[in-house]
Amino acid sequence: MNITAFMNLMVILVPFLLITATFSQIAVLDVTLPGDQRSPAQPPDRSELRLAVVVHADGIEVLDGERRLERLPRRGDAYDLAGLDRRLDALKRRFPSTDEARLLAEPATPYEDIVAIMDHLRADDDGRERFPVIGLEEAGR
């Protein structure tokens, strides 16, 4: 059985395809633009949580409307995402029907930190939803 031609083909084809193969690891994250769906007059329903997470250069603040619930200072060179997880879990347990959150950040915050915090806002480590409808806004000083 003469398989030399077949082997030649394989030896050429396998490295060629291995080099050209790009294994796509890209996914997408959908965002809500501010003022897109929300009406200008917020319903003053105090039973509902109006969650806002504010990202400062030195830490994260968790707000309900204007009221500050918690301030998580930055630890070393990373945000305290574990603390944020705990607080968000507690809030989700108290307000299971709320799925909206606003994410405010200072202008200089790196995009990766925004995405990381959005991940924690959207879902917990087991993939259970927390507050998947996220509006992105800019934080005032």
Partner 1 sequence: MKMSRRARRMDRHHRRHGRAGTLSLVSLMDIFTILVFFLLVSSAQVSPLPHRASIALPPSTAEAAPESGGVVIEVDRKSLRLQGREIVEIDDGLLADADALPALTEALVALGPTGGADGDGRLTVMGDGGIPYRLLQRILASCRRAGFPHIALAIRRQPRSRGR
The three-state secondary structure class of 100 is: strand
H or E element at residue 137: strand 133-138
Please name the residue that has the structure tokens 């917020």: 42
CB of 31 to partner 1, least distance (A): 5
Question: Looking only at residues 26 through 45 of this chain, which bind partner 1 when binding is defined by CB under 8 A?
Answer: 26-31, 33, 35-36
* CA-closest candidate to residue 116, choices 75, 69, 76, 82: 82
CA distance 13 to 55: 51
Structure tokens belonging to residue 122: 């959207």
Q: For partner 1, which residue of 2, 24, 39, 97 counts as binding (CB under 8 A)?
A: 24
Q: For partner 1, which residue of 82, 89, 90, 129 counts as binding (CB under 8 A)?
A: 82
The yes or no reply on residue 97 touching partner 1 (CB under 8 A) is no
Q: For partner 1, which residue of 13, 73, 75, 90 counts as binding (CB under 8 A)?
A: 13
Cβ closer to partner 1: 49 or 131? 131
The yes or no reply on residue 110 touching partner 1 (CB under 8 A) is yes
| Contact indicator for 53, 101 with CB cutoff of 8 Å | yes
For 104-124, letters b (16+ CB in 10 Å) and e give bbeeebeeeeeeebbebbbee
The yes or no reply on residue 122 touching partner 1 (CB under 8 A) is yes
Q: Which residues contact partner 1 by CB under 8 A?
A: 3, 6-7, 10, 13-14, 17-18, 20-31, 33, 35-36, 55, 82, 85, 105-112, 114-116, 118-119, 122-123, 125-127, 136, 138
